[in-house]
Amino acid sequence: MINKQLPKIWFGGDYNPEQWDKETWDEDIRMFKLAGIDVATLNVFSWALNQPDEDTYDFAWLDEQIDRLYEQGIYTCLATSTAAHPAWMAKKYPDILRVDFHGQQRKFGGRHNSCPNSPTYRKYSERIADKLAARYKEHPGVLIWHVSNEYGGYCYCGYCEAAFREWLKEKYKTLDEVNRVWNTRFWGHTFYDWDEIVAPNALSEERKGSETDFQGISIDYRRFMSDSLLECFQLEYNALKKHTPDTPVTTNLMGTFPMLDYFKWGKEMDVVSWDNYPAMDTPLSYTAMTHDLMRGLKGGQPFMLMEQTPSQQNWQPYNSLKRPGVMRLWSYQAVARGADTVLYFQLRRSAGATEKFHGAVIEHAGHEHSRVFRETAELGRELDMLSDEVLDSRVQARAAIVFDWENRWAVELSSGPSVALDYVTEVHKYYDALYQQNIQVDMIGVEEDLSGYDLVIAPVLYMVKRGYADKLKAFVNNGGTFVTTFFSGIVDEHDLVTLGGYPGELRRLLGIWAEEIDALPPEKKNQIIMKEPWEHGQKEYDCRMLFDLIHAESAEVLAEYGSDFYAGMPVVTKNSYGSGNAYYVASSPEGDFLKDFLRDLCEKQGIDPLVTHADDGVEASERHRDSRSYLFLMNHNDRTSSFDIGERQTEDLLTGQKVTGAHTIEPKGVMILKDFR
Amino acid sequence: MINKQLPKIWFGGDYNPEQWDKETWDEDIRMFKLAGIDVATLNVFSWALNQPDEDTYDFAWLDEQIDRLYEQGIYTCLATSTAAHPAWMAKKYPDILRVDFHGQQRKFGGRHNSCPNSPTYRKYSERIADKLAARYKEHPGVLIWHVSNEYGGYCYCGYCEAAFREWLKEKYKTLDEVNRVWNTRFWGHTFYDWDEIVAPNALSEERKGSETDFQGISIDYRRFMSDSLLECFQLEYNALKKHTPDTPVTTNLMGTFPMLDYFKWGKEMDVVSWDNYPAMDTPLSYTAMTHDLMRGLKGGQPFMLMEQTPSQQNWQPYNSLKRPGVMRLWSYQAVARGADTVLYFQLRRSAGATEKFHGAVIEHAGHEHSRVFRETAELGRELDMLSDEVLDSRVQARAAIVFDWENRWAVELSSGPSVALDYVTEVHKYYDALYQQNIQVDMIGVEEDLSGYDLVIAPVLYMVKRGYADKLKAFVNNGGTFVTTFFSGIVDEHDLVTLGGYPGELRRLLGIWAEEIDALPPEKKNQIIMKEPWEHGQKEYDCRMLFDLIHAESAEVLAEYGSDFYAGMPVVTKNSYGSGNAYYVASSPEGDFLKDFLRDLCEKQGIDPLVTHADDGVEASERHRDSRSYLFLMNHNDRTSSFDIGERQTEDLLTGQKVTGAHTIEPKGVMILKDFR
Amino acid sequence: MINKQLPKIWFGGDYNPEQWDKETWDEDIRMFKLAGIDVATLNVFSWALNQPDEDTYDFAWLDEQIDRLYEQGIYTCLATSTAAHPAWMAKKYPDILRVDFHGQQRKFGGRHNSCPNSPTYRKYSERIADKLAARYKEHPGVLIWHVSNEYGGYCYCGYCEAAFREWLKEKYKTLDEVNRVWNTRFWGHTFYDWDEIVAPNALSEERKGSETDFQGISIDYRRFMSDSLLECFQLEYNALKKHTPDTPVTTNLMGTFPMLDYFKWGKEMDVVSWDNYPAMDTPLSYTAMTHDLMRGLKGGQPFMLMEQTPSQQNWQPYNSLKRPGVMRLWSYQAVARGADTVLYFQLRRSAGATEKFHGAVIEHAGHEHSRVFRETAELGRELDMLSDEVLDSRVQARAAIVFDWENRWAVELSSGPSVALDYVTEVHKYYDALYQQNIQVDMIGVEEDLSGYDLVIAPVLYMVKRGYADKLKAFVNNGGTFVTTFFSGIVDEHDLVTLGGYPGELRRLLGIWAEEIDALPPEKKNQIIMKEPWEHGQKEYDCRMLFDLIHAESAEVLAEYGSDFYAGMPVVTKNSYGSGNAYYVASSPEGDFLKDFLRDLCEKQGIDPLVTHADDGVEASERHRDSRSYLFLMNHNDRTSSFDIGERQTEDLLTGQKVTGAHTIEPKGVMILKDFR
């Protein structure tokens, strides 16, 4: 449990009373109570208020707010306020200002604006965390620490360059090794002195943010920047823990945000939290995948939904309202996949500046007579009723999909073979095929133990880090089923090609050799011709983008290309390896192929869907604790839909209704089915 | 009258004899006479020629030109030459060079290149204006002063930053007030010292020129920059007026140019002038609206058409020729809407540099045997014939559309709800609906007295400045009809939301409350379902983009949404208020709706079209002086078209033909119908 | 012959053994022999390796490689390694770092990164060339010098600005003359001191790389930059020649690369070489044109194909494989059009950095059992068999197309009349029409003697340099046929308009006057209505983009516009001039028009196609030496196709087959038909 002081699904969100007057505060309390809100996140952007100059700290306003809320039964998620430095600090200590990708030093403005290697930033961010922890360590209202906010953004200043060189020394020891792993003899980039190394940006090796002349330095700079920001987090983390060792510490992550290696971050956080802001056209399965990914960062431990909007965002091109019922539905989607909190950005809308058109529990109108408030309050009542019922329960999945930020960087930075290749999109295609069939999946990093899984899928496993091929071999050898795709096994962790034939270290495991990799523009396609169609499957599917020209060595050919000069060459193969099987999908297939393919693999491994049947648009996810299980059914459709849970005897926690066999679920409806026996 | 020395519609334009030799000058005179040209604008870009170094001024060339022209009966519109600083000045005084939006100081080049707060620029631009006025104050050939040229462009240098802080002190007095109106507690941007404030650009608060993190500072910086450039104008204005108090002073504006608050500028100019360069696809009604807007800057006083091209532009992507008759037609469009001059850029085409492919009265061929010259000379003859006939007459409109630059900036800078919202486009939609029905309209600012109007339309009146709601209420209370739209009444002049429910200060007047604002992508739409269709109107219209979810309080519902979860909620309302009515249009409707809607309102208010009937493409506008009235009919079609003026008895000034009742007008034809009795 | 030491078509390419270990070197040799490789280009990017610090030079590794290869019968094309400066040099001497178009000084990174006017670069690049030549002057393995690599890119630093001013002084002598030719009185840009002139970039006169306010300075800066880089080449050239006067020197060019005036460069090189990297959608005739252009740089002398990929590129958006047979086919296309070498980038693929996914003879798999290697080795065998057969033979063309880089710059920098106008595209349209009919063409510069041609085509001859009009007149007067188009004869070499009527100096020759130039967007068109259709020709063709409104003076009208207000005005004219004819095409016609038009002209001039008939997709080109002739037939189709060579009696050098009359050619097939008698 995140914090036993409040043993229920926390309900509340970001709250900025410092923007308002006392009269408003009273009204806030009245409305929080109407809505069933029990947690407020304070102090996210109040550094300038807390520290008006170098020597002065003033937390009186915060004392008052935490007390006031606590007296009314509302707990505080206490932020450290370091996500935006004060204007006076930028003026006095310009080292805190980032240098951007184009090599220009920024001025004061925006947020997430501090250089992570700035001595000033490190000194004062650590100090304020220390002061806050010392001050509130005894306060019963403080449930959890929220360090900074949505860490991200890179810097290319002289401090970062110097720190990068130190980071490299630490990692590679010698310049010879740096030259080797970056292959600097290409284009004569050999370094003879550490100081010759400069940050890779638009003035040196990179262009447009994802093009580089040297993948080695660019991947390392991403690692370094992720580490630099993580160090900033850790400085605050340690300062907080010194005073409050038992209060959990988190920082809010951003799902598939590209800039940080979240698997590395997850290890350093007490509990993972994240901000869920799907765009209008984000597929439901993408949101589901992201929840699963966030859950995976700490090996399945429940996470916090730290932010979502009650209705509208403001930074999308077209900020449509969440339709009636959708906010509740998506809140339960998070809980179904491992969240133990439902928090919003924000409790009250600002009257000015850039987020004033972002939705809030309390809108500009300021009263409770609105659709959004009614939906919020209704959810508050339900969560109250659920009490600690699903709290701390875990998802149990026998299938896993591998997601790796470093591999993602390497794929994104690759020059060729195709600009159309997007790592996350390929991963999501596989996830979606399982999601559509209601098969529970874990999203795992490459350091995860595989022994608990029966099926492991690693799409576009371009970068195979030291030891990972062996781990995969052991997994398959022990009976596991492994699936990977085109453009896998190409490089090691330095982006150096594994010579001797693709897919490199995976060649033996997969029993194939990829001689060439064709790339075609989006309007062109090839076909996957099945040698033996699956039951209910098709004879032929489309595939696109990249086309490995492979030779089966020990593998069995399941399907062949249907056209072009490599018609008849294998496109899907299966290789027996020890007690298991390893599959290779040599191109990017249409969704129907993946559904049929993965259904077959799951059936072979005895991995069952969570429900016997569910209409399209009805999502299922299940959490377990001790002997109890909670099967969440969520109907994303605008119409009443059906599902079938077979012989399970359950009760819907939200209605008390008994449910077994086939059943209907109302539009946008949610059911939490608890087995009883 | 602009200047009684030349009591007719001035005809001529920009002339750069300094680029040519004496032989060419003589040829110019010969051709000017053939074309009926009587005004030449001199000295627009001759600063470097006038002042070859810091201490030397040499106007001998200008003496010669003004004299030479005057001797041949051609008057001078005398520019002050400060639109492009000399290269030597940029080298010697780099403070004159702007710092651009990306924070880089420019080098010498281009034009409109001077920092408006540069001490060097202010000193030398004022000085040269002073010298020019002192020198030519007695010259009978000088009709008017033309200060600088097409002011525009922002600077972000240290001088501007310092001046911005002074501007803020002047406006807000205290930093506390700055912090309040910019809502700097959001994201912890509180300023403790004036010097902490930096210019908002790509290095601080803004992105892409129209995205900002703090609307407050960004709107104020636009006000400040508009004021800074206006101060530059005023410095020259005052220097000129000191010597020549009776010679009018203008500077050429650019229609709907976004960067300057032209209503504020209009007040400081003796006469408004502007440069009309429609693109190939600019709607005719947009040009008409822009003429009306320019006329509105000084409360309806006649303006100058300072520049238009005789045929071709050069900076459009595809610079098509003005088709035969179009140049004449568009010249009369300007006159019909209030222009008392028809001037071109340019009288003779340059032989080199970037505008050498811009059309001119005298082309590179250099002789009169061309279509463009013939059309020009024909127009010259007509304007000569018109003499002072329409001069100084005024347009009388009973309908007005509100246009406000500060509101425009605020809408443009808003983060959410939709990137598709463009203020000028929405204004133009309403204008167009009236234009299509030949209803005369004034374009007015928010400081205009409303008592002369029966119908006032303020599309997207997002920002309601202090006192404006009261002015509107008084207008309606006294019997006026007021129309506004979705996304109105949201903020005050600081872009701070008016709390308590949209549309804020307009809520009582409109009798509605807007609970939510939905935004949908361009391909999606809703419907306006009329409760009682207008005569000849439709039952249903489409609407798009933004959709206020409104509740009628005291208002009557005229139409409801046709679909989505807010089907049945009001989309068009009418509220009785005192003796008048206030209408709210909660979404962006298709043009047909606006035509039917506004026709109905005009009929109710007794606002008649200028003509009983006119074919599509036949434009009408009328000017009045004393008891005389001039009804302009302009046929934009390629075919003979019809109109009907009812029982009026008129004579066409251009042909002497008597016209009454129904009549035809030839393709691209123009008629100026003067009532006689 | 390029170098008699190896009297055959050289076969090999770029080789970077410094990236590999000794074991790999041995394997390389084994595979080179399998593939018939006899030339390796060494040392292209090894500056940092050769000169690890300011005082140390170490060529031991290079000695070893050259020797090793030579011992195995493989010659060296020896590069000077100056295409990428060492990191230590950038750190120690920042003057070597370029300032980019946006005015920012770069840091170390990329390649082609040295400022061409950097004292450091000039000193050390010359020095290393000198050292290399001194060291290897006696080595029998060194066939040719390869200076730097793919020169290109501009710099805008202070050194360049200073050098630009010197270049201007040298060219124009006085500032008055600079002011005149740049027409600086426009916009008051008069310079009073040389130091006031700054480099034209995004901070001064230019935008987006091809927009400028002053064409004069922008064209001159391109000339200056091309000259600056050429001086760098010449510094190395002279250093090499001092030691090895008999060893040819080249640098690899890039076809229609825009930044350098290759006709000027060609004069300074002993042999032209170039890198052929067509994109997926590059038309075959465009590649053919580019080969012809490269051949034209030195008046028809055979050139080197320095680089092509064996199969895949990596910097295209979608890097598709060269289909089977295509690499061989395109290699022969180069030879057919004048290449005496077939070289690849690269012999072995790098394991790391940005080009690791660029194809190579030896792929990452590292063995010979691949399609690409087999095709390479097959070609190697054929080239070996051909021995010196076609070497040093020349193409004989009676038709020529004019291509001029300075004219191209001027057209590209022009502001108006249409952004759609692309010089190279227009040139290619004319080339393609002749290519489709298998008429041999030379691509020539404006300094070429025209007396050897019967037909000269100069599309969009916008800039007519001093004396060129006279040269064209003499050519036509003597019986030649000349064709030019819309937007020709407009300016002199300074981009100053030739006054008195377009097409300026060409007016008498063409017998027409262009009164106006209309520009329409891409979706609009006009028609070419033939007065007398050609045999098998059409009555009417489409034309687009620009439309000169011309008057025939002495010319005969062949066709008229079909619509718009200039319907009936001439669009194609023919003017008799002396013994020849000059044609004007006043708009940009569809391809069918050009085929019919140019077929007619060729027939009239007795210019015959190379073959009596060839199916579409079958390309022909012929080379001659002494009395021998080699007719290359190349089938780009995927099907067997036909051609007919009439009564010629030939033998296919590749198969020994006798060929006469009609014949078939296999898909992707090549035949080299040698006449025998």
A114 contact partners, CB below 8 Å, separation of at least 6: A82, A84, A85, A96, A97, A98, A121, A125
> Is ipTM beyond 0.90?
yes
- The closest of C264, C272, C184 to C227, measured between CA atoms, is C264
Q: Report residue A310's pLDDT band, with 50, 70 and 90 as the boundaries.
A: very high
Helix (H) or strand (E) holding A264: helix A262-268
Instruction: Output the CA torsion C208→C214→C218→C220 (10° steps).
Output: 180
Q: What's chain C's average pLDDT? A: 97
Other beta carbons within 10 angstroms of residue A90's beta carbon come to 23
Q: What angle do CA B394, B398, B404 make, to 5 degrees?
A: 85
Q: Which residues of B touch A324 (CB under 8 A)?
A: 565
Q: Do B516 and A370 touch (CB under 8 A)?
A: yes
Q: Which residues of C touch A494 (CB under 8 A)?
A: 352
In a domain, B512, yes or no: yes
Q: Which chain B residue lies closest to C487 (C-alpha atoms)? A: B357
| Distance from the C104 Cα atom to the nearest Cα atom in chain A, whole angstroms | 8
Q: Do A500 and C366 touch (CB under 8 A)?
A: yes
Shared-domain flag, residues A470 and A415: yes
Give the pLDDT confidence of A313-327 residue by residue, as tens digits: 999 999 999 999 999
Give the separation between CA C204 and CA B105, rounded to whole angstroms: 10
Q: Do B188 and A312 touch (CB under 8 A)?
A: no
Give the separation between CA C199 and CA B104, rounded to whole angstroms: 15
- The closest of B170, B193, B192, B171 to B181, measured between CA atoms, is B171
In a domain, C89, yes or no: no
On the question of pLDDT at C112 being above 90, the answer is: no
Please give the C-alpha separations between residue B624 and each of A274, B293, B389, B396, C404, in angstroms, as whole numbers.
Answer: 67, 18, 11, 7, 60
Q: Which of A55, A93, A128, A318 is the best substitution to test chain B (most B C-beta atoms within 10 A)?
A: A318
> Which one of B312, B320, B352 has the shortest CB-CB distance to C495?
B352
- Active site members of C: 150, 307
| Distance from the B561 Cα atom to the nearest Cα atom in chain C, whole angstroms | 38
| Distance from the A491 Cα atom to the nearest Cα atom in chain B, whole angstroms | 37
Res A209: pLDDT: 84
Q: Which residues of B touch A366 (CB under 8 A)?
A: 499-501
On the question of pLDDT at A461 being above 70, the answer is: yes
Res B112: pLDDT: 81
Give the separation between CA B69 and CA B15, rounded to whole angstroms: 11
Neighbours of chain A (3+ CB pairs under 8 A): B, C
In a domain, C23, yes or no: no
Shared-domain flag, residues A377 and A406: no
Question: The domain that contains C653 carries what CATH number?
Answer: 2.60.40.1180
Q: What is the tally of structural domains in chain B?
A: 4
Q: Angle between the B284-296 and B326-336 helix axes, to the nearest 10 degrees?
A: 40
B297 contact partners, CB below 8 Å, separation of at least 6: B253, B262, B263, B265, B266, B269, B272, B303, B445
DSSP at A321: P
Token pair, residue C23, equals 């074991």
Give the separation between CA B439 and CA B291, rounded to whole angstroms: 15
Shared-domain flag, residues A505 and A365: no
Q: Do B205 and A90 touch (CB under 8 A)?
A: no
> Which one of B49, B109, B352 has the shortest CB-CB distance to C496?
B352
Please give the C-alpha separations between residue B644 and each of B197, B438, C61, in angstroms, as whole numbers.
Answer: 61, 12, 94
Shared-domain flag, residues B439 and B568: yes
Q: Is B179 helix (H, G, I), strand (E, B) or coil?
A: helix
Give the pLDDT confidence of A610-630 residue by residue, as tens digits: 999 999 999 999 999 999 999
> Which one of A195, A204, A565 has the shortest CB-CB distance to C323?
A565
Last residue of a domain, one of B393, B415, B438: B393
Q: Which residues of C touch A213 (CB under 8 A)?
A: 109-111, 353-354
Question: The domain that contains A599 carries what CATH number?
Answer: 3.40.50.880
On the question of pLDDT at A273 being above 90, the answer is: yes
- How many CA atoms does the CB half-sphere of C360 hold within 13 Å? 23
Q: Which residues of C touch B317 (CB under 8 A)?
A: 418-420, 521
B382 given a catalytic annotation? no
**Full domain range(s) for residue C659:** 618-675
Cβ pairs bridging A and C (under 8 Å):
172
Q: Do A183 and C371 touch (CB under 8 A)?
A: no
Q: Is A429 helix (H, G, I), strand (E, B) or coil?
A: helix
Q: Do B364 and C497 touch (CB under 8 A)?
A: yes
φ/ψ (deg, to 5) at B542: -90, 155
The answer to whether C200 and C214 have CB atoms below 8 angstroms apart is yes
The answer to whether A188 and C81 have CB atoms below 8 angstroms apart is yes
Give the separation between CA B111 and CA B95, rounded to whole angstroms: 16
Judge residue A361's burial from the number of C-beta atoms within 10 Å of its C-beta, 0-12 exposed, 13-18 middle, 19 or more buried.
buried
In a domain, B104, yes or no: no
Other beta carbons within 10 angstroms of residue C93's beta carbon come to 17
Q: Which of A150, A205, A412, A505 is catalytic?
A: A150
Residues counted in chain B: 677
Burial C643-667 (b: 16+ CB within 10 A, else e): bebeebebbbbeeeeebeeebebee
Shared-domain flag, residues C530 and C437: yes
Res A418: pLDDT: 97
Shared-domain flag, residues B384 and B406: no
Q: Is C375 helix (H, G, I), strand (E, B) or coil?
A: helix
On the question of pLDDT at C677 being above 90, the answer is: no
Q: Which chain B residue lies closest to A85 (C-alpha atoms)? A: B188
Token pair, residue A620, equals 């299922």
Res A126: pLDDT: 98
Give the separation between CA C649 and CA C658, rounded to whole angstroms: 8
Shared-domain flag, residues B389 and B407: no
Instruction: Output the CA torsion C618→C623→C628→C631 (10° steps).
Output: 0
Give the separation between CA C597 and CA C564, rounded to whole angstroms: 23
Q: Report residue C202's pLDDT band, with 50, 70 and 90 as the boundaries.
A: very high
In a domain, C388, yes or no: yes
Contacts 24+ apart (CB under 8 A), C636-642: C636/C284, C636/C329, C636/C668, C637/C667, C637/C668, C638/C667, C638/C668, C639/C667, C640/C664, C640/C665, C640/C666, C640/C667, C641/C614, C641/C615, C641/C617, C641/C665, C641/C667, C642/C613, C642/C614, C642/C615, C642/C618
DSSP at A502: B
Cβ pairs bridging A and B (under 8 Å):
172
Give the pLDDT confidence of B486-537 residue by residue, as tens digits: 999 999 999 999 999 999 999 999 999 999 999 999 999 999 999 999 999 9
Please give the C-alpha separations between residue C80 and each of C125, C136, C292, in angstroms, as whole numbers.
Answer: 8, 12, 27
On the question of pLDDT at A677 being above 80, the answer is: no
The pLDDT of C227-254, averaged and rounded, is: 98
Q: Is A178 helix (H, G, I), strand (E, B) or coil?
A: helix
In a domain, B211, yes or no: yes
Give the separation between CA C270 and CA B6, rounded to whole angstroms: 71
Shared-domain flag, residues C635 and C508: no
Shared-domain flag, residues C410 and C535: yes
Q: Which of B126, B150, B236, B448 is catalytic?
A: B150
The answer to whether A172 and A220 have CB atoms below 8 angstroms apart is no
Token pair, residue C268, equals 């300074």
Q: Do A365 and B204 touch (CB under 8 A)?
A: no
Shared-domain flag, residues B283 and B424: no
Res B516: pLDDT: 98
Which residues of C does the annotation place in the binding site for Zn(2+)? 115, 155, 157, 160
Shared-domain flag, residues C404 and C465: yes
The answer to whether B269 and B236 have CB atoms below 8 angstroms apart is no
Q: Which chain B residue lies closest to C517 (C-alpha atoms)? A: B321
- Do the bridges between strand B339-344 and strand B303-307 make them parallel or antiparallel, or are there none, so unpaired? parallel
Burial B371-404 (b: 16+ CB within 10 A, else e): bbbebbbebbebbeebeebbbebebebbbbbbbb
Burial B580-619 (b: 16+ CB within 10 A, else e): bbbbbbbbbbeeebbbbbbbebbeebebebbbeebeeebb
φ/ψ (deg, to 5) at C124: -80, -30
In a domain, C99, yes or no: no
Give the separation between CA B512 and CA B420, rounded to whole angstroms: 25
> Which one of B88, B350, B353 has the shortest CB-CB distance to C193?
B88
> Which one of C88, C107, C280 has the shortest CB-CB distance to A193?
C88
φ/ψ (deg, to 5) at A26: -65, -40
Give the separation between CA C138 and CA B114, rounded to whole angstroms: 62
Give the separation between CA B486 and CA B587, rounded to whole angstroms: 6
Residue B155 labeled ligand binder: yes
The pLDDT of C397-405, averaged and rounded, is: 98
- Under-50 pLDDT residues of chain B: none
Token pair, residue A400, equals 């896993």
Last residue of a domain, one of A393, A421, A455: A393
The pLDDT of C435-456, averaged and rounded, is: 98
Last residue of a domain, one of C393, C417, C452: C393
Res A530: pLDDT: 98
pLDDT > 90 in chain C, percent: 99
Res C209: pLDDT: 84
- Identity of the amino acid at B403: F
In a domain, B663, yes or no: yes
B318 contact partners, CB below 8 Å, separation of at least 6: B280, C417, C418, C419, C420, C519, C520, C521
Burial C227-251 (b: 16+ CB within 10 A, else e): bbbbbbbbbbbebbbebbeebbbbb
Tokens 């510094």 belong to which residue? Answer: C235
Give the separation between CA C16 and CA C348, rounded to whole angstroms: 7
| Distance from the B547 Cα atom to the nearest Cα atom in chain A, whole angstroms | 10
Shared-domain flag, residues B279 and B386: yes
Please give the C-alpha separations between residue A168 and each of A162, A497, C90, in angstroms, as whole numbers.
Answer: 10, 21, 20
- Identity of the amino acid at A663: H
Q: Do B370 and C515 touch (CB under 8 A)?
A: yes
